[in-house]
Structure 1
Amino acid sequence: MQGPARAVQPDEVLKDPQLETRARDLSKDLRCLVCQNQSIDDSDADLARDLRVLLRQRLVAGDSDAQAKQYLVDRYGDYVLLKPPFKTTTLVLWLGPLVLLLCGIWVAVGFYRRRGAAQGETEASIPLNEAEQKRLSKLLANERKR
């Protein structure tokens, strides 16, 4: 049997080690709805405890792993899964980060293009005064001699 998780309380642990192992394995894939990016196995939130107890009740009642997990999904939606399935209702969860990354790249490229064009215009549009022109001519002459 696996070692006890930090959040699982002694009164939650099932007497049957096989059922407890199944419950632990399942609870690692279920999201704490309060903590969001923490499994119910790791979360100390009251709702996570309630979900752990509910999951164990379903297993003791004879549900398979898939049935117990589906019961929680039916009750709380795909959001309760740490790895939601790829389907139309979860499309934003899967493609959202990619779309945001592409938008960020597009904005950055546009910014640097405009910045480069603006710098080129600024440098080309400022005429040199007479002293700068003489200095530039000397520098170029010295460079040609090398």
Structure 2
Amino acid sequence: MNHAPFHRLRLALLGVGLWLIAASAFAQAGAATAPPEFVDAAEEQRFHALVVELRCVMCQNQSLADSNAQIAVDLRREVLELMREGRSDAQIKEFLVERYGEFVLYRPQVKSRTWLLWFGPLALLLTGAIAVAVIVRRRGSGAPVPPDDSQEW
């Protein structure tokens, strides 16, 4: 008995099945990152201004607008829903901070906990400038060395 036709049929069905699985996975991925539909241009502008100020909680240095992570897609959808509920930008940010912490904000609020974050770079810059000024003064205060005339060309 010749089993070759059944083997070919099984391989063909396996190939079609794998192709369908891959195609459905790509279709789901494309649908998940599809841009939301906005009611008007003002809503779209407000949405984009807001998601640029929010950080993706999964990605280290990407805003919600830039990230394609699934959590970012979900958060963008949630931000739009909160906007449509009538919440202000400050209320939306407060909601996300309560849920994910201050990490979600690209510009954290100036509080006693974040002083080092806000003023640390300025303090380092001033410390460096003072150190450079002290070093330059110490080197410049020495007596000038007279030229050695014994070694002429």
Output the TM-score relative to the length of structure 1. 0.60
Is the counterpart of residue 73 in structure 1 residue 97 in structure 2? yes
Q: Which residue of structure 2 lines up, in the alignment, with residue 100 of structure 1?
A: 124
The correspondence of residues 36-75 of structure 1 with structure 2, limited to 5 A, is 36=61, 38-60=62-84, 62=85, 64-65=87-88, 66-75=90-99
> Which amino acid is the alignment partner of residue 87 of structure 2?
S
The match for 2:36 is 13
Specify the SS of the correspondent of 2:120: helix
Give me the whole-angstrom Cα distance separating, in 1, the residues matched to 2:67 and 2:107. Answer: 17
- Whole-Å Cα distance in 2 between the matches of residues 56 and 49 of structure 1? 11
1:98 Cα shift?
A: 0.8
Structural RMSD (CA): 3.3
- Per the TM alignment, residue 32 of structure 1 is displaced from its structure 2 partner at its CA by 2.9
Residue identity over aligned pairs, in percent, reads: 37
SS at match of 2:145: helix
Q: 2:114 aligns with which of 62, 84, 90?
A: 90
CA contact (8 A) 1:78 1:84 kept: yes
Q: Which residue of 2 is the match for residue 123 of structure 1?
A: 145
Q: Can you list the C-alpha shifts for 1:104-134, whole angstroms capped at 9, x where unaligned?
A: 10121122223334xx36837xx95xx639x
Residues 100 and 15 of structure 1, relative CA distance in 2, 3 Å threshold: same
Whether the 8 Å CA contact 1:29–1:81 is kept in 2: the answer is: yes
Counterpart residue type for residue 109 of structure 2: P
* Counterpart pick for 1:31 among 55, 58, 69: 55
- 1:132 partner amino acid: S
Report the Cα distance in structure 1 between the residues aligned to 2:144 and 2:69, rounded to whole angstroms.
Answer: 58
| Count of matched residue positions in the alignment of Structure 1 and Structure 2 | 118
* Residue from 122, 132, 136 that aligns with 2:150: 132
CA distance in 1, matches of 2:109, 2:36: 29
Code of the aligned partner of 2:113: T
